[in-house]
Structure 1
Amino acid sequence: MRYCAILAAILWASVVAAQDWEDRQMFGTGEATLRILSSTDTSFFAPIITDFIAANSQVSVEYLVTGTADIDGLFREDPSAYDVVISSAMDLQLKLANDGFAAPLVEITHPDWAEWHDSLFAFTTEPAAIVINRAALGDLPVPGTRQDLIELMRAYPDTFEGRVGTYDVRQSGLGYLFATQDARASETYWRLIEVMGRMGARLYCCSGAMIDDLIAGDLVVAYNVLGSYAQARSETEDALRVILPSEFPTTMMRTVLVSRDASNLASAEAFVRHVLTLQAAGDPVRFPLPPLAGGDGSVIGLNPALMTYLDQMKRETFISEWEDAILQDD
C-alpha cells in the first residue's frame, strides 16, 4: 500500500510539472492535502484559503490556476486528481455536474437559483465590462453602451486600429460564455465584433492579459473583461476606467463543485461549506470577491439552457460566425 501511495505521488508530481499552470501555490503544512483546480487568481482566494486552514490545521491546500477551458479538459480526464473545482465558466461547470462529475452536498442553505442539484454552487456574481485606458482615449467620449463603442470606433478608426482587445472564444471558456450570452441578448454583439475585426482586434486568453495591455497603453479598449478583476486593478491603476454597458448586463456566477472522486472528500466538502459561509458573511477581508446577488433575471441562469451552446454543432456554427466577423485580415 505504501508503494502504491508513493507511486501515485510521483505520477501526480509529473502531471503537475508537465502542466503549464498560470499559478501554483501551497498553503499550510497539514498532512492531508486538498487539491483545488481553479480559474480564479490566487490573490483573490489566498485569504479564503488561509481562513480555512486556520480552522483546519490538519489540511494543506495546493491551489492550481489555469484557464477555464483547460480546467474542463483536465478534470474530465482525471477527476480523481483534484478535490475541488472552481471556475467562472458556469456553462462548463454545469455540464460537469450534469454529467455526474460532482459529488452532492447535503444540508447546505443556499439560494435555489444559485445551486444545481446540490452539486454545483454559485458564490459570486460578476459582470462583463468594457474597460478603457483613459489617457489613450484622449478627449473622445467615454462609451456607455455597446452601440456607443461601435460608433466611436467607426468615427475614429486611427485611435483604435490594432488597439482593441477581447477574448479568443475558441480558447477561453469564460470568453465563449460571455459571447454566446451577448449574442442571445442582442444583434448588437455581432455588429460590435465585426467592427472590432475591422480594427484588427487582438485576441486574449484571459482578462488579466487584457488588463495588463490596457495599463501598458497597448490597448485603448477591451471588451467583455471580467469586471471584478478590472475593478480591483483600477483601484491602483489610474489609467483604467471600468464601464458596465447600460443597455443590458452580461453577468456570470463563479461556481464551485466537489469532485465525485475526490481523494480528500471530507476536506473538500468542508472547504466548499467554508466558502459559502464566508460569502454569506460578506466580510471583504476574509472574502475579497464580489458578493452573490441576483436571482431576478439580471444574472445568467444556472439552468439547462446554459448548456445550449455546448452542443458540438451549435458551438462549431457559433465559432465559424465569430471567426468570419473578427478575423477579417486572416
Structure 2
Amino acid sequence: MKFQALLTVGLIMVAGAANAQDLPAGYPADYSSLVAKAKAEGSLLIYTNLSQDNVGPVITAFNKAYPDIKVESLEMGPSEAFTRYRAEEGTGVSSADILIANTIVDWTSAVKEGLVQDYQSPEIASLPDWSHPAPGLYTFSTDPMVTIYNKMTVPENLRADTMEGLLTNVTTHPDVFGGKVGTYDGRYAFGGALNYAFVERHGDQAWKWFEEAGPSIKPGGGAGAMIERTLSGELSAAYFVSAPVVWSKMADGLDAIIDWNFPKDGTVVFPRGIGITAKPNHPAAATVFLAFVLSHTGQEAVGDGKLTPYRPGLEAKGALSYSLDEVAKAVGGEKNLIIINYDPKMIDDNAAFTARWGKAFNM
C-alpha cells in the first residue's frame, strides 16, 4: 500500500512537471488549471463582423489544440456586435464571451463603459505596444488598405503605387479617372478613420490632394462593391480598399482584370479589435481563446483566413496572404505604414473633420 501511494504521488508529480514544461514561456504556473476550467465550460460564443471564411481557420486551429471547447461565431455588423451585447448583458440571456470587430468608435466607447474585461494576456510581451491600446483591448488582425485598378481602362504607367501619384493622376488625367474613382465615404466611422489617419500622416498636403482630386472621386459603398464596380469598368480605380476582401476576390481569377498595390507613401492599416466581454458566460474559455489568437500559432491561423497577422517575425502562407512584417517590407519599411490608433482626438475632431472632408469631395 505504501509503495502504491508513493507511486501515485510520483505519477502526479511527473504529470504536473510535464504540464509545467508544456506551458509557453511567460505563462503563469497555474495556467493549466485555467485550461481545465475552460474544458469544463466546454463552449464559447463570439460576436464578430468576420465571415466564416475569415474566422473559421482560427476556430479550426483552436479546436486542434483544445478539442473539448466548442466555438460558435455569429456574424453581424461591427457596431451591432456591441449593441447586441449591451442589450443582452443585463437580461440573463446567454451573450457573447468575445467581441471581434474593426470599429474604433465602438471599441473606445466599450472600454469607457466597462464592457471589456481588463485582462493582461501572457502573450503581451511578444506583441507590439500599439496592438493593445487599452486595458483588455487587443488586436485580432491588421487590415491594410490597397489601391485597385482596372487593367482594361488604366494603362500601366498610370497605375501609381503611391497615394500622391494616384491623386495627382486623378487630377491630371480626367479622361481616365474623371468620375471613375471609388473609396469609402469619409463621413462615416470606417472611412472616417482611414481618412483621418491619412491626414494625420500627410497634414496639409493631404487636404490639398483631396481638394484637387475630390470632385473627380465618387465615394460610397464597401470593399466588395468597389471591387465589383472596378471589375465592370464603372470605376477605373479605387483606393483605401480592404486588402483581405481584394485577396479573396483575386482567388476567383479576377487578376486578369484587376491590378492592386500597397501605396508606398503610406499604406493605411486598420487594427481589428478583440476583447473578452465584461460578463462572459464562459470566462475561462474566453481567456484561453484570446491567448491562442495572440500566440504564434493563432496568428498563423489568422493568416490562413486571408487576414493580416501582425505578430513580429511571422510570415503568412499562400500567394495572397501577407503578414504585417511582409506588408512593411513591400512598402519600404514600417515608416510607410499608417497604423490607425485609438487616439480620442479622432472622435473629438469628428464633426469638423467630416465637414471639411465632405466639402473637399463635394458631398
Decide: shared fold, TM above 0.5. Answer: yes
Aligned to 1:300: 339
Do the aligned partners of residues 79 and 178 (structure 1) sit closer, same or farther apart at CA in structure 2, a change above 3 Å counting? farther
3-state SS in 1 of match to 2:295: helix
3-state SS in 1 of match to 2:208: helix
The alpha carbon displacement at 1:75 in A equals 4.5
Matched, 1:42 2:81: no
Task: Decide whether the 8 Å contact of 2:145 with 2:240 is kept in 1.
Answer: yes
Whose helix proportion is higher, 1 or 2? 2
The alpha carbon displacement at 1:310 in A equals 1.1
Task: Decide whether the 8 Å contact of 2:44 with 2:69 is kept in 1.
Answer: no
Aligned to 2:102: 88
Aligned to 1:222: 238
Task: Decide whether the 8 Å contact of 1:133 with 1:241 is kept in 2.
Answer: yes
Do the aligned partners of residues 320 and 302 (structure 1) sit closer, same or farther apart at CA in structure 2, a change above 3 Å counting? closer
Please give the alpha-carbon distance, in whole angstroms, between the structure 2 residues aligned to 1:321 and 1:227: 27
Code of the residue aligned with 1:257 in structure 2: it is: G
Please give the alpha-carbon distance, in whole angstroms, between the structure 2 residues aligned to 1:174 and 1:242: 21
Aligned to 1:115: 132
243-252 or 294-303, which moves further after superposition? 294-303
Aligned to 2:3: none
Please give the alpha-carbon distance, in whole angstroms, between the structure 2 residues aligned to 1:190 and 1:42: 38
Please give the alpha-carbon distance, in whole angstroms, between the structure 2 residues aligned to 1:33 and 1:196: 51
Code of the residue aligned with 1:39 in structure 2: it is: N
3-state SS in 1 of match to 2:267: coil
State which of 275, 285, 292 in structure 1 corresponds to 2:293.
275
Code of the residue aligned with 2:264 in structure 1: it is: S
Aligned to 1:194: 211
> Which string of whole-angstrom CA distances, capped at 9 and with x for unpartnered residues, describes residues 127-154 of structure 1?
2221112222145521122221122112
Whose strand proportion is higher, 1 or 2? 1
Task: Decide whether the 8 Å contact of 1:87 with 1:255 is kept in 2.
Answer: yes
Name stretches of at least 5 consecutive residues in structure 1 with no aligned partner: 1-30
The alpha carbon displacement at 1:88 in A equals 2.4
Task: Decide whether the 8 Å contact of 2:141 with 2:302 is kept in 1.
Answer: no
The total of aligned residue pairs comes to 292
Please give the alpha-carbon distance, in whole angstroms, between the structure 2 residues aligned to 1:191 and 1:231: 31
Code of the residue aligned with 2:169 in structure 1: it is: L
Aligned to 1:240: 258
3-state SS in 2 of match to 1:63: strand
Aligned to 1:325: 360
Please give the alpha-carbon distance, in whole angstroms, between the structure 1 residues aligned to 2:147 and 2:245: 12
Matched, 1:264 2:282: yes
The alpha carbon displacement at 1:193 in A equals 3.0
Please give the alpha-carbon distance, in whole angstroms, between the structure 1 residues aligned to 2:108 and 2:134: 10
Task: Decide whether the 8 Å contact of 1:102 with 1:260 is kept in 2.
Answer: yes
Please give the alpha-carbon distance, in whole angstroms, between the structure 2 residues aligned to 1:291 and 1:94: 22
Instruction: Give the CA RMSD over aligned residues.
Output: 3.1
3-state SS in 1 of match to 2:254: coil
Aligned to 1:63: 74
Do the aligned partners of residues 280 and 175 (structure 1) sit closer, same or farther apart at CA in structure 2, a change above 3 Å counting? same
Aligned to 1:129: 146
Matched, 1:155 2:172: yes
Task: Decide whether the 8 Å contact of 1:115 with 1:302 is kept in 2.
Answer: no
Task: Decide whether the 8 Å contact of 2:142 with 2:307 is kept in 1.
Answer: no
> Which string of whole-angstrom CA distances, capped at 9 and with x for unpartnered residues, describes residues 250-292 of structure 1?
2232221111022333332232222223555635775542221
Larger radius of gyration: 2
Please give the alpha-carbon distance, in whole angstroms, between the structure 1 residues aligned to 2:197 and 2:242: 14
State which of 46, 51, 73 in structure 1 corresponds to 2:61.
51
Code of the residue aligned with 1:214 in structure 2: it is: T
Aligned to 2:226: 210
3-state SS in 2 of match to 1:36: strand
Task: Decide whether the 8 Å contact of 1:33 with 1:62 is kept in 2.
Answer: no
TM-score by length of 1: 0.76
The alpha carbon displacement at 1:180 in A equals 0.6
Code of the residue aligned with 1:203 in structure 2: it is: G
> Which string of whole-angstrom CA distances, capped at 9 and with x for unpartnered residues, describes residues 2-61 of structure 1?
xxxxxxxxxxxxxxxxxxxxxxxxxxxxx9663322233331111112333453445240
Identity, in percent, stands at: 19
Do the aligned partners of residues 286 and 230 (structure 1) sit closer, same or farther apart at CA in structure 2, a change above 3 Å counting? closer
Task: Decide whether the 8 Å contact of 2:153 with 2:233 is kept in 1.
Answer: yes
The alpha carbon displacement at 1:112 in A equals 5.1
Code of the residue aligned with 2:247 in structure 1: it is: Q
The alpha carbon displacement at 1:196 in A equals 4.4
Task: Decide whether the 8 Å contact of 1:164 with 1:196 is kept in 2.
Answer: no
Please give the alpha-carbon distance, in whole angstroms, between the structure 2 residues aligned to 1:196 and 1:40: 33
Please give the alpha-carbon distance, in whole angstroms, between the structure 1 residues aligned to 2:43 and 2:151: 45
Please give the alpha-carbon distance, in whole angstroms, between the structure 1 residues aligned to 2:239 and 2:304: 30
Name stretches of at least 5 consecutive residues in structure 2 with no aligned partner: 1-40, 313-323, 326-333
TM-score by length of 2: 0.69
Please give the alpha-carbon distance, in whole angstroms, between the structure 1 residues aligned to 2:213 and 2:79: 24
